[in-house]
Structure formats: structure tokens, C-alpha cells
Structure 1
Amino acid sequence: MIKPTPNPPEDPATSPYESLDSKKLHEAAERALDHHLGTPPPKIHLADARKGQLFIVAPDVDTDSLLANASEDIAAIKAIAGDLAFEIEGSRRNVALAIYRMAEGAQLLIDRAMDNLDPPNPVEYRVKV
């Protein structure tokens, strides 16, 4: 069989990474080898991340937003626990009601904290004479 193009020259001094993208190809090859040969990837260090902690709260979120989100989460927990309590019986119902009551207490604490941050405007009562 006759090939339309000749074989490339066989020169041992020629590197396969001498193209314009040789650095990118070399880095990709190294990553692939590291992945398949089990070399651990480099660890990412975040200033606010703690060891063993999966989630963190963004450090630039204001207190009002944090409390508002906590309040919404507690309301969702109350809804789930309340619905569950009316679908089951016995000691499991008592557990669901206990979760509901604890969430209700946390909701009251969050609401008070939000009021302390941004107190409502006092209503002025004027008596007509």
C-alpha cells in the first residue's frame, strides 16, 4: 500500500512538545499522569475555611441577610416538622412536635435579633384636645 505522505523524520532530539502550545500539552499530560498514577492534587487553602468543615458562610454577608436566611430556614423546618407530626402517631409524633417547638423558639430568637438590629419606628399617638 502506498501512502500519499511520507513518514516524519525520525530524530531523537525532537521533542513532541515543541509546538506553540507545548506548555499546555505538557501540563495536561502531567495532570493526566498524576490523576491516573494516584498523585494527590494540590490542596486549596482558603483563609476562612476550617479543617474538616464542608461549608462556610461568605465573610462579606451582612447580619441582616444572615438572620433573614436563618429565619427562612427555621420556617421551612417548622413546616416540615408540623406536617410530619400530623401524619404519624405515637412517640415519633412527639419527636416531630418537639422539633417543631424547638424551631419555633429559634424563630422567636431570630425575630428578636432582627428587631434589635432594625427597631420598628415608634407610633406616635396624639390626643386631640
Structure 2
Amino acid sequence: MFKVTPNPPDTDPVPPDAILDAQKLKEIADRAIDLYLSPSPLNASLPPRKPSTIFLINPKIDNETLLVHACESMASASVMASDFAGFLEGPQRSTLLALQQIIMLGELAVNRVLDNLVPAE
């Protein structure tokens, strides 16, 4: 009987792991263990972040004023999202109405904080 394919070449069966020496394996294992058991902070080598001052809110503004402004901004965003949803159909409309509802819930939460806030005299 004739064999269609030739025999594979004769090679020494060397497992790929035998190429690595014990020291390299130890280094790899130590790095893996250190990564999971004692991770270094990701921002350790980064310089501290300096926030931009282009849109700076005066630190002397009281909390009530900030909450009122946040409430008015969220009310405006809710109305804009609702109006824009009127121009859409299908899944896009549903998505925008869901976002409008999330904005409205945030507005309600800020309003509750304002209601619970005791005015400073």
C-alpha cells in the first residue's frame, strides 16, 4: 500500500517549557504573585492632578445656592430632553425619554435636599 503523505521529520521532542530556566520561571511567578497580592497604586508614578480653573465655582458659595443652581440646571436639561424626544421615533425616543426620567429623578433628589436643608440665619 502506498502512503500519500511523507513521514514528518525526525526532531528531538523538547517541551517548550524546558527552554525556560528555573530563574526566569521564578521571576515570572514572583511578578504574577506581586501583581495580585500587593498591587502598587496605579497613580503612584503620576504627578498629582491639577484641575483646570477654566470653569471654577467660587468656594465661598453656600450649599443652598449650589443646590438651587443644580436643580434649575437639571430642570432645564429635563425639558430639553423631553422636547428633543418629540422629534424622535422608536428606540431612540425611548432611550432619550429614559435619560429624561433619570435627569428628573436627580432633580427630585436635589429638591428633597433643599426641602430638608435648614436655612442659615
Q: TM-score, normalised by structure 2?
A: 0.53
Q: CA deviation at 1:56?
A: 2.4
Matches for 1:77-92 after TM superposition, within 5 Å: 77-92=77-92
Q: CA deviation at 1:64?
A: 0.8
Paired with 2:94 and 2:56, the residues of 1 have a C-alpha distance of 33
Query: 1:43 maps to which residue?
Result: none
Q: CA deviation at 1:118?
A: 3.3
Number of residue pairs matched by the alignment: 70
Task: Name the one with the larger helix percent.
Answer: 2
Higher relative CO (CA 8 A, sep ≥ 6), structure 1 or 2?
Answer: 2
Query: 1:102 maps to which residue?
Result: 102
Q: CA deviation at 1:65?
A: 0.4
1:67 corresponds to which letter in structure 2? L
Query: 1:69 maps to which residue?
Result: 69
Paired with 2:96 and 2:112, the residues of 1 have a C-alpha distance of 25
Paired with 1:81 and 1:102, the residues of 2 have a C-alpha distance of 11
Q: CA deviation at 1:109?
A: 0.6
Find the residue that maps to 1:97 and give its secondary structure. Answer: helix
Matches for 1:22-37 after TM superposition, within 5 Å: none
Give the gaps of 5 or more residues in structure 1: 1-49, 120-129
1:51 corresponds to which letter in structure 2? K
Question: Percent sequence identity over matched residues?
Answer: 34
1:83 corresponds to which letter in structure 2? D
Give the gaps of 5 or more residues in structure 2: 1-48
Q: Deviations over 1:33-85 (max 9, x none)?
A: xxxxxxxxxxxxxxxxx624342211000011000000100011001010011
